[in-house]
Amino acid sequence: MKKEKVLLGMSGGIDSSMSAWYLQNMGYEVIGITFNTISNSLTDHTPQFIAEAQTLAAQLNIEHHVLDVYNQFKKEVIDYFVDEYLKGRTPNPCIRCNETIKWKLLLEESQRLQCTKISTGHYVNITEKEGFYHIQKGKDPSKDQSYFLWNLPQSILSRCIFPLGSFLKSEVKDKAAKLGFQSIVKKRESMGVCFLQGQDYRSYINDMRPELKNKLKNGEVWNSTGNKIGTHDGFPYYTIGQKRGINLQADHGEYVAKIDAANNRLITAPKNTLFTKHLMIHTYLTSNPSFLQGPQQVDLRIRGLDAVPPTPGTIELIDKELHIHFSNPVWALTPGQSIVFYQDNIVVGGGIVDNMEFNAGNESL
């Protein structure tokens, strides 16, 4: 009997490598693929993560492909990342990559290689609800990556399988050790934005746009009443809610409240004024297109990698604008970041924060 084929995105790390093993044991024929997003020349040398993915594929006796997508990645993700900061926004490159590079190409390559399923090493599950597929939080709350997958369309979700969603990370590491995969067990886990390679994003922007450093330094800092209270090193190096790194004439207890990119100016305000109770967004997606036919009670997650729990709230579509109401005010919402909507730990949709105003002070701070 011919096995069903699944295309697995492989990064050379423990999660995608162990996904290959689990998928094999679930009865699938696994084909691995690794995207080169880091090196602008594969002819000179093979990046370490690609070599590690090739080694693991050989150990598991699975077919493996390398796809050079550096130019596409630079255009769609790296340039977007830099340009968003230069607009005074805070981007999420992982979510952008999922939409424009990673999952788009996984779907295209799965069709080319005649695979019926697509897989990655994310610690999430896939579930069907009312005829539509949704991302669901996995077993391990410390590895929950559902926030970053809100913008996947049904054409992709309908093909997804996530073998690690029912495991804790510690269980996956223990299994890898028992199988003798010591190299991936001992490998340091990568965190943060992949293309930064551990570099601070500010110095990365300087490297990408070296002509801006002198042009942007000594920008003005104004408070919310219109008085100049200090200077800054360049508006792209700050985000909403930041206090450190602002050169104030005195300790005013001020935080960045707005970034005026056109004038290279930061607008600051007291911490207790940086709260939001409601906003409207124009860029959004729901897994079920009819989900927004009326107001919906949801849990709202505004950041993907912190321990802050989701905030209950309501979303309602009014004249093509999605109105979001938080039951409790949230602090330091930032233009460019994503808000993800959950019901019972299932991702029902998400959207991107547009320009907004803080509208809910908190006198207790």
Question: Which two tokens mark 277?
Answer: 């109770």
Question: Is residue 97 annotated as part of the catalytic site, yes or no?
Answer: yes
Q: Is 15 annotated as a binding residue?
A: yes
Task: Report the top-level CATH class of 275-352.
Answer: mainly beta
Q: Is 336 annotated as a binding residue?
A: no
Q: Is 9 annotated as a binding residue?
A: yes
Q: At what angle are helices 14-25 and 48-59 packed, to 10 degrees?
A: 20
Pick the catalytic residue from 94, 97, 115, 160: 97
**Whole-angstrom distance, CA of residue 323 vs CA of residue 267:** 26
Side by side, which strands form the sheet with 247-248? 247-248, 228-232, 219-223, 265-270, 254-260
**Whole-angstrom distance, CA of residue 194 vs CA of residue 102:** 13
Q: Is 208 annotated as a binding residue?
A: no
In this prediction, residue 365 carries a pLDDT of 46
Q: Which regions in the chain score pLDDT beneath 70?
A: 41-44, 190-191, 305-307, 359-365
Find the length of the chain: 365
Question: Is residue 115 annotated as part of the catalytic site, yes or no?
Answer: no
Count other Cβ atoms within 10 Å, centred on residue 181.
Answer: 20
In this prediction, residue 245 carries a pLDDT of 87
Given the candidates 3.30.230.10, 3.30.1280.10, 3.90.105.10, 3.40.50.620, the CATH classification of the domain at 5-196 is 3.40.50.620
In this prediction, residue 43 carries a pLDDT of 61
Q: Is 35 annotated as a binding residue?
A: yes
216-272 placed in CATH 2.30.30: yes
Computed on alpha carbons and rounded to an integer, the radius of gyration of the chain in Å comes to: 22
In this prediction, residue 22 carries a pLDDT of 97
Task: Sketch the domain layout of the chain as residue ranges.
Answer: 5-196, 216-272, 275-352
Pick the catalytic residue from 94, 115, 160, 194: 194
In this prediction, residue 253 carries a pLDDT of 82
**Whole-angstrom distance, CA of residue 73 vs CA of residue 55:** 24
pLDDT in tens, 289-312: 999 999 999 999 998 766 678 999
In eight-state DSSP terms, residue 308 is P
